[in-house]
Amino acid sequence: MGLLDDKVVLVNGGTQGVGAAIARAAVREGAAVTVSGRRPEPGEALVAELTAAGGEAAFVRADLADAQQAKACVAEVVAAHGRIDCLVNSAGLTSRGTLLNTTPELFDAHIAVNLKGPFFAMQAAVADMVARQAPGTIVNIITSSAHGGQPYLAPYVAAKAGLAGLTRNAAHAHRWDRVRINGLNIGWTATEGEDATQRAFHGAGDDWQERAAARLPMGRLGRPDEIADFVVLLLSDRSGVVTGSVIDWDQNVLGGLD
């Protein structure tokens, strides 16, 4: 459909899982896409895949827990293309911790990846948009757990709830600049990272997805490609004037009780 024709898009944390799916969808819809991440192997493999299919893609190596590196990702995109039109913050740290056993170091790590990195990437992207007096769009990948979450996700919830608030604050601050900023509270999704997390922290076996699916209303976990299609819509003009929305992308209903 060409929803992102001629748009310049940066997907932070875009080398695997939801981020990689967003990169694929954005290229399919006509965008020039840069993905960032810590590991070059999956990043370069994804770029090779996208360019082989006729798309325009690049990889930037960055640790998004570092605010300066998060800002530098935007600077590299602007240097290569002269501008940035769309930013997606999809990097996420999901290591476990409760209120009682979370160390200051674990807490700081969650804040760095899940909140500080997106903050400063947004700062750099919006600065470019405002300087050019050009519209732009940003989508932050948050989590349905930001509403409260599981006891073993205390630092993750704290950081992601902060990102939800930041999404609304920045959208309000820059609505007159025509910069639209929205977020997705995604639910349980089948990704490589989730598979590793289930095995590392919950002793899950090879059948964990089937066992989880049996407990879910739709009979399966969400898929990254479905989230990617939703994100592309929010990045595109087809989402109209919507800004400051943090949308629950989940099959469980907040506040619903059985």
Task: Report the sign of the C-alpha dihedral through residues 38, 14, 240, 83, in that order.
Answer: positive
Mean pLDDT of 109-136: 98
Give the Cα separation of 7 and 42 in Å (integer): 23
Per-residue model confidence (pLDDT) at position 205: 84
Q: If you average pLDDT over residues 63-91, what whole number do you get? A: 98
What confidence score (pLDDT) does residue 154 get?
98
Which tens digits make up the pLDDT trace of 164-218?
A: 999 999 999 999 999 999 999 998 777 777 778 778 777 878 888 888 888 888 8
- Reading the block at residue 54, the tokens are 């006729």
Q: From the CB of residue 196, how many other CB atoms can be counted at a distance below 10 Å?
A: 12
Q: What is the chain's length?
A: 258
pLDDT of the residue at 207 = 84
Q: Can you give the pLDDT at residue 8?
A: 98
Sorted by where each begins, the domain ranges of the chain are 8-192+200-248
Global pTM reads 0.93
pLDDT, tens digit (0-9, with 9 covering 90-100), for 231-252: 999 999 999 999 999 999 999 8
The DSSP 8-state label assigned to residue 116 in this structure reads I
CA dihedral 124, 128, 134, 140 (to 10 degrees): -20
What are the structure tokens assigned to 183, written together? 């977020």
Mean pLDDT of the chain: 94
- Paired with 209 in beta bridges are none
What does the block give as tokens for 184?
A: 């997705």
* Beta-sheet strand order (sheet of 86-89): 56-61, 32-37, 8-12, 86-89, 136-141, 179-186, 246-249
Distance of alpha carbon 136 from alpha carbon 106, whole angstroms? 34
Catalytic residues: 156
| CATH number for the segment(s) 8-192+200-248 | 3.40.50.720
Spell out the residues 6+ positions from residue 7 whose beta carbon is closer than 8 angstroms to its own.
26, 30, 31, 32, 85, 86, 235
State the pairing for strand pair 86-89/56-61.
unpaired
Residue 11 and residue 36 in contact, taking contact as beta carbons nearer than 8 Å? yes
